[in-house]
Amino acid sequence: MTKTHAPGSPDVREFETTVESIEGREVTLEETYFYPEGGGQPADRGTIDGLEVADVETRDGTVVHTLESEPAFSPGDEVDCTIDDAFRTYCMRAHTASHVVYGAGRRLFDDLGYAGFDIGPEKVRVDLTTAEPIDDSALVELGRLANRAVWDARPVTWKRLAADEARDLDGIAFNEKTEAEAMSTADREIRVVTVGSTTIEGLETGDGNEPWDVAACGGTHVDNTRRIGPIRVLDRSNPGEGVTRVEFAVGPSAIDRTARVQAATRRASQQAGVPPTELPDAVDRMQDERDTLEGELEDLRREILDARLTELPTVQRDGATWAVGTLERFDPNAVSEAAQEAIDDPGRPDVVATVGTDGAPSVVIASTGAVDAGEVIDDVTDAFGGGGGGGPTVAQGGGLDADPDEVVEWLREDGG
């Protein structure tokens, strides 16, 4: 049974060891510093004897390395192993950053709980449980506190403790399902990672401050928060009831995202003609102006629609006066409402029938009761396809397979 030394020696990038077994592309080593995927942290990348490592996982307590191709070496051979430095460093920063963000959350929410995390190639997510949703102001404060913890250069330490001792630690974040790698089934020890001050024997920092975060964790970490670099909180979502997913970037990715946001903010500031700090007020004013203009535009569109309905040519059908014609760029629902009002006015037609020309023709029929609007729509769809329905006084149909003018003529001539 070969376990990984990665959590205890996260800065090791090169090592020599003996091949223990080989099965196809799967290799086990007498010892390994490759980190197997688990607890939200992806598997390490790298090479074994020059061959690319495609995956690393734990099976029945043994770390198995899957290579991109079958190896030429054999069990018992000595091999040189190299861990991808950039990716391991990113994972260490990201994993420690998740503890820092959780520690920031502990200072904002009395009822904070931990529901897991995941390291992606560009961003990291931490799932938090709180009684109340995390709003925008809390999200901003979460990022501010996390970056302050980075700036304060807090030590990061780890040690395996007896299970009972670990569980008794004040405020320890503990999720046995997501942190299986922190557990040692042989002796029931738990690996505890502490950010900031600690009084754990052998790890005492001596500064007397409250620890920033204490958690059961089997991942790889930096030894000081200053090595994380900037943390950029990106967004939040709700993947399940009572759970808030907070996404953030670290290191170079955070720097790049911050630069993009700053560039966008400056551009918006210039376009709005206000300093960046006044952008929210400027946006509120623009929103109010837009709402006013949209209302005025809607009123104008309704006036135009009423005028178009008034201008529709009329025809006599079965003792009733029909106003029939085409309309362009009007929503059928708006036409239905306006047409119903049009036939209620004294001296107006008994029936208003319009054919929309946007895309597949649509038909709106409004009637005083002189004809059954729903039956007219049934006749139209029988003749030209599509579908629709309605009642005796108003009905709609759409998806007709015909030219709009052809439908108009059909309506004018009583179905041909």
| pLDDT range class, residue 416, cuts 50, 70, 90 | very low
- As given in the structure block, the two tokens for residue 48 are 């074994």
Which residues fall within 8 angstroms of residue 248, CB to CB, at 6 or more apart?
A: 97, 101, 123, 124, 125, 126, 143, 146, 231, 232, 233, 234, 254
**Taking the C-alpha atoms of 365, 371, 375 and 378 in order, what is their torsion angle to the nearest 10 degrees?**
-40
Q: Which residue has the tokens 């990113």?
A: 90
Distance CA 35, CA 3 (A): 9
How far from chain centre, in Å, is Cα 337?
A: 39
- For residue 398, count other CB atoms closer than 10 A to its CB: 17
Give 75-92 pLDDT, tens digit per residue: 999 999 999 999 999 999
The larger pLDDT score, comparing residue 343 to residue 248, is at 248
Give 11-54 pLDDT, tens digit per residue: 999 999 999 999 999 999 999 999 999 989 999 999 999 999 99
Asked if residues 93 and 222 have their Cβ atoms less than 8 Å apart, the reply is yes
Which residues fall within 8 angstroms of residue 229, CB to CB, at 6 or more apart?
A: 93, 150, 250, 251, 252, 254, 255
Does the pLDDT of residue 179 top 60, yes or no? no
According to the model, what pLDDT value does residue 176 have?
55
Percent of the chain with pLDDT over 90: 73
Least confident of 45-59, 171-185, 194-208, 375-389: 171-185
According to the model, what pLDDT value does residue 181 have?
52
Does the pLDDT of residue 4 top 70, yes or no? yes
Give 128-147 pLDDT, tens digit per residue: 999 888 999 999 999 999 99
According to the model, what pLDDT value does residue 132 have?
82
Give 221-271 pLDDT, tens digit per residue: 999 999 999 999 999 998 888 899 999 999 889 999 999 999 999 999 999
Does the pLDDT of residue 209 top 80, yes or no? no
Give 102-125 pLDDT, tens digit per residue: 999 999 998 899 888 999 999 999
According to the model, what pLDDT value does residue 186 have?
43
* Ranges 74-83, 183-192, 354-363, 397-406, most confident: 74-83
Distance CA 86, CA 83 (A): 9
What is the model's pTM? 0.73
Number of helical (H) and strand (E) elements in the chain, helices listed first: 8, 20
Sorted by where each starts, the structural domains of the chain and their CATH numbers stand as 14-83 (2.40.30.130), 89-265 (3.30.980.10), 312-412 (3.10.310.40)
Q: What is the mean pLDDT of the chain?
A: 90
Which residues fall within 8 angstroms of residue 239, CB to CB, at 6 or more apart?
A: 127, 245
According to the model, what pLDDT value does residue 319 have?
85
Distance CA 256, CA 246 (A): 19
Give 293-317 pLDDT, tens digit per residue: 999 999 999 999 989 998 999 999 8
| pLDDT range class, residue 275, cuts 50, 70, 90 | very high
